[in-house]
């Protein structure tokens, strides 16, 4: 009897988001990148890494880290959208 096994491979990226001058407690952030996004993400990473002569791992971590910082910076709350009385 033959069986078919499919495994979805995820890429785990471990990030320390601690600022350089921070001496307090920190946690390590684990980001799981699903297999369906891995190759798409690496299409951005590879040319940057090659152009900057830096490892793909470092560029990938920088992209994820900067994305997290940008998302935290944004204000997603609705801004004064009160219904005007007509």
Residue 79 inside a domain? The answer is no
pLDDT at 56: 92
Domain span including residue 40: 11-17+25-73
Residue 3 inside a domain? The answer is no
Residue 60 inside a domain? The answer is yes
3-class state of residue 84 by DSSP: coil
pLDDT at 21: 76
pTM over 0.95: no
Tell me phi and psi for residue 4, to 5 degrees: -115, 120
Q: 53 — alpha (psi -120 to 50), left (phi > 0) or beta? A: left
Average pLDDT of each block of 10 consecutive residues along the chain (86 residues)?
A: 55 74 76 82 92 93 86 71 56
pLDDT at 13: 78
Of 64, 48, 66, 49, nearest in space to 12 by CA: 64
How many domains in the chain? 1
Residue 42 inside a domain? The answer is yes
Burial class (CB in 10 A: 0-12, 13-18, 19+), 60: buried
pLDDT at 4: 52
């Amino acid at each position: 009897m033959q069986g078919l096994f499919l495994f979805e491979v995820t890429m785990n990226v471990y990030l320390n988001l601690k600022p350089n001058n921070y001496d307090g407690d920190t946690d390590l952030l684990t980001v799981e990148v699903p297999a369906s996004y891995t190759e798409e993400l690496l299409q951005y990473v590879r040319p940057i890494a090659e152009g900057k002569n830096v490892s793909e791992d470092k560029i990938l971590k920088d992209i994820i880290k900067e994305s997290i910082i940008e998302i935290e910076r944004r204000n997603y709350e609705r801004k004064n959208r009160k219904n005007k009385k007509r």
